[in-house]
A and B are shown apart, each in its own frame.
Chain A
């Protein structure tokens, strides 16, 4: 990857039509751009979906990406959130080995990271955790590969701080 290539979070409002998602993913594969993460769900207006897309590229590539996305007929509006201050959150469910001495230790770590134990068995916990992607990474690192049984992450959600809005 290029040295000048930065991480960008692009939020997209698009028509909630079947096929809209494949137009976006098809655009990325056809033009050789990469998608690091992608989340999509309908908004408060069910005819509109909001997509949060994480990609990397030089300034020039990001400019092309946003222009090409805007060119898709189904795309109503988009915003590169990384251009200004914004809140970024990711959700994770993580299944962790919890036997013997690890049982207490895992619980303690979850508390420190403000995670919640949402499922308990003799041998495992499921912990729910929300935060920035780097906080989630840190939690996984702290537990270590021996304890982590399974993870599922939502991909980041993001919203601009203050008055800046992405709305119709």
Chain B
């Protein structure tokens, strides 16, 4: 372990904290102050390298950090106080854990001598967060602070990324020691394996080339490991169809003819039928989630499976695979490409042509068509229009519900790290705060949030943060007056007993946006959709809240109902 910062006089833990973030290259810190972190805030006040972003609720700080991380190759960083500050952050931490987002979350803690005494604003943050972090640390000695921070960043960003919590008692931030930020750290019990086993890679290539009905199924791992270019090259060499999970959208260009779109519960007919009938499945950076597989008993009955993943525990967890390859997807794809290039063997052209003919037949079902006539705004049309007007090149965050699925279906992404949503935990309230983080990372980019009237109200207070930092988000509220995804399930599976899914007493969103100092727009007719979005996008330096009154009865199609296989989709 060698040191980069020069040794000198002892400084306080709070100063060590700030210097460590500076050394780490942290530019943005999302947070909210309180008693246990006041020394740290004082140290932050005296410098200007690390910009602190003041949110209005700690959950939003974590989502903002997630948006920041998901849209860049940098970790997100959060600072909250002890007790309620930490508990408010837990939903965001769990969200980041489920979607493997690299975060370092610093929580204040009561002074060491008070721990365990039910002190004011004390909670067992380590205990509460243990099941939803990659790792957590309680810093008990100021001498360990800098090294612990370095370890936290190392663990959060390497291997399968994830959130790391560092709990810092208040007295530790007042104690002094000499600052020494290590350049690198080693954790003897943690050595993630990036390079895939060459023998397995050769076996995989043999199987891949023998396929008659192949399918490449990729997930968020491609986005997290920045492997979109490698995936694209790999798929094009083979000419095989590619489907992406919700988390993997943008990992392969949606406009490429090899793309069959998203798979899973609300995926395309061609993707799910292609999965079901495949004879060789090449899974890369995806984890066979239940929303993807449908009924596991009926999943891919004919396929031999290759699975590439950095996390050995993801392999053969839900579905037994034939050729596991533990490694970083970028590295392994690179190796797969090298082997493919060095062999003269090519896929069976006749079989592949017949397979594509079959896929095209499924495609012709046109599973994403929707009713374009009528005088009520169709939510799909709003998303499609946004895609057209932003030329498919905006950053889009979403909340959770029907609007999330429509965003995923009707805004095809050609680039990675542009689609930011809460997939694993499905956290309503994720959309706007995560967009704030994206906008901080990309100040000049167009950043849109597709949301619903239910979800937006779960973190609506962040309109104030957006005002403070002049974040020109474009918020598209697909206001159907319902917790639409809940309503859809009640319509399908509970004979239309709409228990608690009607959103009563909605605020006047236009006035609300204006009250926070933003621009509000109300759009009620299909003919006004394009003009409104165009106008909003032209307001480069203003946040525009577009309240679209959309069809309250619209459902998300196609759909794999619970218990059904991927070949048993309900089409519209």
Q: Could you tell me which A residues sit within 8 Å of B by CB distance?
A: 14-15, 18-19, 22-23, 26, 30, 60, 63-64, 67-68, 70-71, 73-76, 168
Contact = CB atoms under 8 A, between A and B. Distances in A.
Nearest to A18: B138
A69 B287 CA distance: 18
B126 A76 contact: no
A30 B317 contact: no
30 contacts: A15-B189, A18-B138, A19-B130, A19-B138, A22-B127, A22-B130, A23-B130, A26-B131, A30-B131, A60-B316, A60-B320, A63-B316, A64-B317, A67-B312, A67-B313, A68-B313, A70-B312, A70-B313, A71-B311, A71-B312, A71-B313, A73-B134, A73-B135, A73-B155, A73-B187, A73-B189, A75-B189, A76-B188, A76-B189, A168-B188
A23 B189 CA distance: 14
Nearest to A27: B131
A89 to B, nearest CB: 27
Interface residues of B, number: 18
A26 B127 CA distance: 10
Contacts of A63: 316
B131 A74 contact: no
A19 B127 CA distance: 9
Given A19-B130, A30-B131, A73-B190, 9 more contacts: A22-B127, A22-B130, A26-B130, A64-B317, A67-B313, A70-B313, A71-B312, A71-B313, A76-B188
B189 A64 contact: no
Contacts of A168: 188
Interface in B174-224: 187-190
- Counting chain B CB atoms within 10 Å of each CB, the highest count among A26, A60, A63, A75 belongs to A63
A30 B131 CA distance: 8
Interface string B116-129: 00000000001100
B279 to A, nearest CB: 24
Contacts of B189: 14-15, 73-76
Contacts of B320: 60
Contacts of A14: 189
A30 B127 CA distance: 13
A131 B42 CA distance: 61
Interface in B26-51: none
Nearest to A64: B317
B374 to A, nearest CB: 48
Closest 10 CB pairs of A and B: A67-B313, A76-B189, A73-B135, A73-B190, A30-B131, A67-B312, A71-B313, A68-B313, A26-B130, A26-B131
B311 to A, nearest CB: 7
Nearest to B188: A76
Contacts of B127: 22
Nearest to A74: B189
> Most chain-B Cβ atoms within 10 A of its Cβ — which of A19, A64, A68?
A19
A70 B312 CA distance: 9
Nearest to B311: A71
Contact of A19 (B126, B131, B134): B126
Contacts of A30: 131
